[in-house]
Amino acid sequence: MHTQSIEYTVDAKRYIGFLAVDRERTGKRPGVLIAPEGGGLNDINRDRARELAKLGYSAFALDYHGDGMLLESMEQMQARLAVLRADPSLIRSITRGALSVLVEQPETDPSRVAAIGYCYGGTAALELARSGAELACTVGFHSGLATTRPEDARNIKGKVLVCIGADDPLIPPPERLAFEQEMRAAKVDWRLYLFGNAVHGFSNPEADRRGIAALKYHRPTHERSWRAMRDLFDETFET
């Protein structure tokens, strides 16, 4: 297993992402861009990259905030995410820069690339898809679905899967309905899975540490949603 931190520049700002790839395998393979939770690139997302590399993918976890910075407090995160949500062009530029790093890796097949994201990262991955990026599929785990530019869904080139906790108070039914309408209007090949007994953050084993009722790890949903992603990858990449 080869892992390394990679520095790259977007709009004159330095970012530091994390690459994982099994170089004992030969030949090109699908690439997966990982968009972390709003706090930024941490060890959980490095482990996600390693797990995907073990499954035969070239995986790159991106940096949102520059210099690999982690935002620990909810106040910091909310302030930063408010900026990113207000103007989708900013997060689209950041994610496109990271996508370029992934497709430039010698192991990555640029014609077979996915973006996945967690919490705000799911929002970011969807915005990347709406930008018209060359993505074969996009997956969001407990991801925010709202966008200020729903009309851009017509630019989505690949399949879309979002996995949402049915009891998630941060992604209420009206937001899910608006997303469904957006996908239908754009004629996207999409799917939305609802998982019972799950709230926000169901895939993050550390979600409970914040002591917020809306955030809770739920192992069954974590495992089921991961299998749903792998099923989509198998269908899309025929690995």
User: With pLDDT > 70 as the criterion, what percentage of the chain qualifies?
Assistant: 100
Helix (H) or strand (E) holding 234: helix 219-237
Alpha-carbon span 124 to 35, nearest angstrom: 7
Residue partners of 172: CB distance under 8 A and separation at least 6: none
Amino acid (1-letter code) at residue 41: L
Distance of CA 37 to the CA centre of its chain: 8
Residue 216's pLDDT is 97
Alpha-carbon span 87 to 22, nearest angstrom: 36
Averaged over 113-134, what is the pLDDT?
97
Averaged over 120-127, what is the pLDDT?
97
The tens digit of pLDDT for each residue in 6-28 reads 999 999 999 999 999 999 999 99
The tens digit of pLDDT for each residue in 61-120 reads 999 899 999 998 888 888 988 888 888 999 999 999 999 999 999 999 999 999 999 999
- Whether the model clears a pTM of 0.85, i.e. scores above it, the answer is yes
Which position has the higher pLDDT, 142 or 69? 142
The owner of tokens 């989509």 is 232
Averaged over 115-141, what is the pLDDT?
98
Residue partners of 79: CB distance under 8 A and separation at least 6: none
Cα Rg of the chain, angstroms: 16
Q: How much is the mean pLDDT over the chain? A: 95
Which position has the higher pLDDT, 76 or 175? 175
Q: Check pLDDT > 90 for residue 193.
A: yes
Q: Could you give the domains of the chain?
A: 2-237 (3.40.50.1820)
CB 119 within 8 A of CB 84: no
